[in-house]
Amino acid sequence: MEEKVLLEVEEARRILGASRWKIYELIHRGELPVLRIGRLVRIPRRALEEWIVANTRHPGSSGESIC
């Protein structure tokens, strides 16, 4: 089965293990990339994966967590 290119907020929530509120907060702050189609909010799978990599801290690294 082919993976969806665009994810619904609920799907991104499950992938990240975060609350629905937290996902919308990240979207509102412009931290999580989204595509708006009218009133629909979709999160491009590739952009979400890149966001995860870019925001992953490794042991011993400095920097502040965004969550």
Q: What is the pLDDT of residues 50-65, one digit of tens each?
A: 999 999 988 876 655 5
**Predicted local distance difference test score (pLDDT) of residue 62:** 63
Confidence of residue 30 (pLDDT cuts 50, 70, 90): very high
**Predicted local distance difference test score (pLDDT) of residue 61:** 64
Residue with tokens 């929530």: 13
- What does residue 34 show for φ and ψ, rounded to 5 degrees? -135, 160
Provide the CA 50 distance to its chain's centre, in angstroms: 9
CA–CA distances in Å: residue 13 to residues 20, 21, 52: 6, 9, 13
If you average pLDDT over every residue of the chain, what do you get?
A: 90
**Predicted local distance difference test score (pLDDT) of residue 59:** 83
Q: What six digits make up the tokens of 43?
A: 């999160």
Average pLDDT over residues 17-30: 96
H helix or E strand, kind and range, residue 9: helix 9-16
User: pTM for the full model?
Assistant: 0.77
H helix or E strand, kind and range, residue 28: helix 20-28
